[in-house]
Structure 1
Amino acid sequence: MVITENTFDIVSETERLVIRPLKKSDYKDWLTEFENRAPSQHRHDKGKMDMSQCTQVWFNNLIDKHQDLAITDIAHMFAVFRKEDGVHLGMVDFSTLSRGDFQWGRIGYSIHNQYWRKGYAKEAVKEAINIAFNNLKFHRIEAHINLDNTASFNLAKGVGMEYECTRKGFIFEFGEWTDNLVYFKNSFE
């Protein structure tokens, strides 16, 4: 599958949000919101992070890496900004699992914890799925979610994704092979 639209030209807006790839000029806003994170709320929330290595040069290299991943259709990264003031709220990303006869991708999402419980994640993920189908030309999107990540599987259900199965020993994290819930949405639904 060849994506005819350059991922870095994609900009999508909702009532309250702008969803687009990061630009090198976003550095200060991006860094500020990471530095303003609250302490971790649970094991799936990184909370405050050491951002000392995240210089402008480091960030520029990150943007270049995002572009390379998009050009090769390995992954497509989108930042979520609040429309009214441009605050960086978080990220939504897509990894290509298979093209060809499948057109299959995985979605990941993260909203800075200081902006939780305001509906931003649901609004962002719902619009990002539209980007996945309309711009990135995926047919199927999956979310792979830890069994105890209630907020994440509630979000997946809230944007119209359906539970499909539990994959046993699916991903190595937290020092062990963990099970994941699989939620999906197909483009014709």
Structure 2
Amino acid sequence: MHSTEYLAQGPRVAIRHVCRQDYEELTTLAEESAEMLNRWLSARENTVEAFESYLARLEQPVHEGFVICLQNTGAIVGGVNINNMIRGTIQSGTLGYTAYVPTTGRGYMTEGLRLVMQVAFGELGLHRLEANIQPDNTPSLNLVKRLGFQREGYSPAFQFINGAWRDHERWAITAEMAQTEADQQAD
């Protein structure tokens, strides 16, 4: 277990910033989940150098990196990035997230992404989050639907993944939409 300085906590999971000490645990999870993840994400190097490069990117003010951890053990069950944040009159960021095979299907990503959204719309002062998802990635599409994201469009040949340009659906949520969703959940 690493740092327990959580940014937000839910009933079962909490989120914190990713840190250097997470390398071994994240590498093991990525290797265990490679078959599932390689359908949707470009193959990544699991080297110390690649992880250091990722951490360096997170030091830039336009990127934030989080891990979703079980509250009772601190074990990592997911990862979330907010990338390419635009400030000024837009106040928007793009979500990237990863679940891991040992803990999929238990609702941890839903709970964890809700916490990330709270931080994004609160502490980070963002107004909008966007997620771009391949049309046949049903688990990811279902996740954003549960969180109240709305489909905004379709982007042909949007991202180069594993040797080919892949189409994506564009989903987004604003701070107001998230608040409405939270109010409905409370009722």
Alignment of 1:135-150 (within 5 A): 135-150=123-138
Alignment of 1:1-189 (within 5 A): 11-35=7-31, 37-38=32-33, 40-41=35-36, 43-44=39-40, 51=46, 53-54=47-48, 59=51, 61-62=52-53, 64-69=55-60, 73-189=61-177
Q: Which amino acid aligns with 2:108?
A: Y
More helix by proportion, 1 or 2? 2
Q: The residue matched to 1:153 in structure 2 has which SS?
A: helix
After the TM superposition, list the runs of 4 or more consecutive aligned residues in structure 1 that deviate by more than 6 angstroms: none
Q: Tell me the TM-score normalized by structure 1.
A: 0.78
| 8 Å CA contact 2:63, 2:85 repeated in 1 | no
* Cα distance change of structure 1 residues 62 and 86 upon mapping to structure 2, 3 Å threshold: farther
Please give the alpha-carbon distance, in whole angstroms, between the structure 2 residues aligned to 1:148 and 1:50: 25
| 8 Å CA contact 1:33, 1:112 repeated in 2 | yes
* Cα distance change of structure 1 residues 38 and 104 upon mapping to structure 2, 3 Å threshold: closer
Partner of 1:5: none
Please give the alpha-carbon distance, in whole angstroms, between the structure 2 residues aligned to 1:66 and 1:20: 17
| 8 Å CA contact 2:67, 2:80 repeated in 1 | yes
* Cα distance change of structure 1 residues 100 and 147 upon mapping to structure 2, 3 Å threshold: same
| 8 Å CA contact 2:15, 2:69 repeated in 1 | yes
Q: Which stretch has the larger CA shift, 92-101 or 154-163?
A: 92-101
Please give the alpha-carbon distance, in whole angstroms, between the structure 2 residues aligned to 1:45 and 1:98: 23
Structure 2 gaps of 5+ residues are: 178-187
Q: Which amino acid aligns with 2:89?
A: D
CA-to-partner distance for each residue in 1:149-174, whole Å, 9 max, x for gaps? 11111100011111111122222223
* Cα distance change of structure 1 residues 50 and 66 upon mapping to structure 2, 3 Å threshold: closer
1:74 CA displacement = 1.9
1:58 CA displacement = 6.5
* Cα distance change of structure 1 residues 63 and 172 upon mapping to structure 2, 3 Å threshold: closer
1:101 CA displacement = 0.9
| 8 Å CA contact 1:40, 1:46 repeated in 2 | no
Please give the alpha-carbon distance, in whole angstroms, between the structure 1 residues aligned to 2:98 and 2:174: 22
- The count of aligned residue pairs is 172
Q: The residue matched to 2:148 in structure 1 has which SS?
A: coil
Q: Indicate the percent of aligned positions where both proteins have the same amino acid.
A: 26
* Cα distance change of structure 1 residues 153 and 132 upon mapping to structure 2, 3 Å threshold: same
Cα RMSD, aligned residues only? 2.6
1:34 CA displacement = 3.7
